[in-house]
Structure 1
Amino acid sequence: MPAVTTSRGSRQNAGAALRFGRLAAMGAVAGLILIAGVWASWGTAQHVMLSKGREQGTMAVQACSGDRCTGPYTPTSAGSKARARVTIEQSVAVKKGQTYTVTVKPGSSDVVRSGPAGLLYAWVPLGGALLLASVVVAGGLRLTRVAWVMAGLGAAQLTVTFLAL
């Protein structure tokens, strides 16, 4: 009889180790997805959120080619200087002939949209990461309530951004 108990005990230990391994792996994947979303968003969001001391103004989009749009920059903040040409990434958030509030990236002639629409647009990668990570959390970690909250937050962020633009 002791051999049967040892066999059963080792199977239970192996099952527990596999469950722990699955939880650790899926937790790491979900965490990595969320970190990547924050990292991708922060490149633009930092210029919008931490705008104190940065050059702020408006940009009138005159021409677009490829994935860039150009136009003149008119300053609205103290210490900012007018520029004949600045560039912004062309996306759904930028259209030729429109004027946008922008923040100049330090040390360059590149600008990013500012204001509420620019802030929401900067965090779009995080919204997508929340949606993707919610699938991992629901399926891999089996935390369905947490997954629904994550998916709801991601969908809400993307929806509000779509409506703001």
Structure 2
Amino acid sequence: MKRNSSGRMLDHGRRVSMVLVALLLLVAGVRSSWGTAQHVLLSKGREHGTLTVASCGEKTCTGPFDPDGAGTARTGLTIERSVAVDKGAKLPVVVKPGTDEVVRTGWPGALHAWLPFGGALLLAACVIGGGLRMPRTAWATAAAGGALLVSAFFAL
């Protein structure tokens, strides 16, 4: 049976809207990850050191900061609380410029920073598979998101 032009237009409109939703999810994931990831990935010229976790609150942990190389040791720097952080843990960190916040560096820090993007990949996979009817691409997107989340879990 031959489709009429209005049926084709609805199909194209559905496809375009699903592509836009998938792109919106991915852009939102990158944007929310980039706030932390930029300090981990582009850390050259920033103050590096080690944070010893002294105490943890509901959302953040604090402790003394011991800089690598030249710099002054400071107390009261905060880091976002993670399930894997225990009191007394020594974490390699980089200081966010102009703040008293630090971000974990290395593979664990990079993977933790990109967690929102991993979630966005999983959500976009549902849109790609269901809305765009592209199951292979959806499985690949979901596998990439799942691998990011699982590797961050094991790295922390």
| TM-score, with structure 1 as normaliser | 0.90
Q: What value does the CA root-mean-square deviation take over the aligned residues?
A: 1.5
Q: Which consecutive residues of structure 1, in runs of 5 or more, have no partner in the other structure? A: 1-7
Please tell me whether residue 149 in structure 1 is matched to residue 146 in structure 2: no
Contact conserved, 1:70 with 1:88, CA < 8 A, in 2? yes
Residue 91 of structure 1: CA displacement?
1.9
Please tell me whether residue 89 in structure 1 is matched to residue 80 in structure 2: yes
Q: Distance in 2 between matches of 1:157 and 1:66?
A: 25
Compared CA separation, residues 111 and 95, structure 1 to 2 (3 A): same
Note the 1:6-85 alignment, pairs <5 A.
12-78=4-70, 80-85=71-76
Compared CA separation, residues 121 and 87, structure 1 to 2 (3 A): same
Q: Distance in 2 between matches of 1:120 and 1:65?
A: 23
Q: Distance in 1 between matches of 2:23 and 2:136?
A: 17
Please tell me whether residue 138 in structure 1 is matched to residue 134 in structure 2: no
Residue 16 of structure 1: CA displacement?
0.6
4+ residue segments displaced more than 3 Å: none
CA displacement 1:25-70 (0-9 Å, x = unmatched): 1000000000010011100000000000000000000011221111
Compared CA separation, residues 77 and 41, structure 1 to 2 (3 A): farther
**Matched residue SS, 2:76:** strand
| TM-score, with structure 2 as normaliser | 0.95
Residue 77 of structure 1: CA displacement?
4.3
Contact conserved, 1:55 with 1:77, CA < 8 A, in 2? no
Please tell me whether residue 126 in structure 1 is matched to residue 109 in structure 2: no
Q: Which consecutive residues of structure 2, in runs of 5 or more, have no partner in the other structure? A: none
Please tell me whether residue 162 in structure 1 is matched to residue 153 in structure 2: yes
**Matched residue SS, 2:64:** strand
Identical amino acids, percent of aligned pairs? 54
1:73 is aligned with what amino acid?
Answer: F
CA displacement 1:70-117 (0-9 Å, x = unmatched): 100000144x33112201111224322211000100001100111110
1:146 is aligned with what amino acid?
Answer: T
Instruction: Mark the structure with the bigger radius of gyration.
Output: 1
- Residue 116 of structure 1 is aligned with which of 88, 107, 112? 107
**Matched residue SS, 2:4:** helix
Q: Distance in 2 between matches of 1:95 and 1:88?
A: 12
